[in-house]
Amino acid sequence: MVMQVARRVSSMIVTLFGVSIIIFLILRLLPGNEVTASLGVSAGLLSRAQLAALDRYYGIGQPFYAQYGSWLGSVLTGNLGVSLASRTSVASLVGAALPVTLELAIAAMLIGEVIGVVFGVLGALRPAKLLDDVGQGISVFGLAVPTFVIGTGLVTFLASVFHYFPSSQGFVSITVNPWLNIQQIFFPALTLGLGIGAAVMRSTRTAMLEVIGLNFARTARGKGLSRRTVVWKHLLLAALVPIVTMSGIQLGYLLGGTVVVEDIFVLPGLGRLLLTSIDNRDFAVVQSVTLIYAAGFVFVNMLVDLLYTWIDPRTRA
């Protein structure tokens, strides 16, 4: 287990190193730079000497490898740079936005797992019955309709019919006002959770159908165990590997899905911070937030691989 963890951590470090190079290169290929982003059209009024001085200040005149090395060294020491738009440290902006995104992601995963596992199990136990049909309908809806369509429709419906939009009061932390915070997080989490639940539901239903007729299931029922115990403690455990796999994939993609949903529901998370920074050509913020998303995706994949060894002892070899 220790060697497996060490290999996965080494692989994660190499992956993040490659991702950081790609992020840095792509942003440098876009039109504009820190000077034009901070001064706008006024940059055209500067003299060559002034432009050269600003290039040296921002490190733009240096070769690519020197710029990248300077940025990477700062990131490794915890210095993410300074935002051009707000004139504050990127670390403070990320520190304020990250808890919002994490809360949204956790809530969305909980909703998605409940929808996916419950309807997947019930659908497998009673194929082609009412609950299975309802689950299949939710699955098709969640997979076919994009999250931005669901989110926009939900916001429009709540605001126009019930005049209800909790985020209009400004985001409140759960430690300050738990009830208002739950209202502000629930609907965006539901928007993301429908897509997660749809994918998890299909994996759960398929995996359960494969193990229902196996010998150990018949043996458990023959020993007199209750139906509930057989289903939730034996069959579901045997079907857990594909469920965990799909959940890990959905959690990785969920981090990117929060970008659009946070903007729709006006949540001050990493996604909204990223969109605002892209509009403002705030390169320091864009680089840092994108790298955090990449690190989250890689970490989730590593965690799923390690969970396999705990769920299925056969994979430990």
pLDDT tier for residue 36 given thresholds of 50, 70 and 90 = low
List residues bridging with 82 in a β-sheet. 89
| pLDDT over 90 percentage in the chain | 14
Q: What per-residue confidence (pLDDT) applies to 93?
A: 92
Task: With beta carbons less than 8 A apart as the criterion, state whether 80 and 288 touch.
Answer: yes
Q: What per-residue confidence (pLDDT) applies to 216?
A: 79
Give exposure, 282-313, as e/b (b: 16+ Cβ within 10 Å): bbbbbbbbbbbbbbbbbbbbbebbebbeeeee
Task: With beta carbons less than 8 A apart as the criterion, state whether 282 and 81 touch.
Answer: no
pLDDT tier for residue 130 given thresholds of 50, 70 and 90 = confident
pTM: 0.84
* Cα 289 from Cα 267, distance rounded (Å): 16
Q: What per-residue confidence (pLDDT) applies to 115?
A: 92
What is the overall mean pLDDT for the chain?
83
Q: What is the dihedral of CA 20, 58, 33, 272, to 10 degrees?
A: 60
pLDDT tier for residue 211 given thresholds of 50, 70 and 90 = confident
For the domain spanning 97-271, the CATH number is: 1.10.3720.10
Give me 171's structure tokens.
């985001």
| CA dihedral over 194, 101, 157, 150, signed as positive or negative | negative
Q: How many CB atoms lie within 10 A of CB 162?
A: 8
Q: By three-state DSSP, how is residue 253 classified?
A: helix
Chain position carrying tokens 């840092």: 288
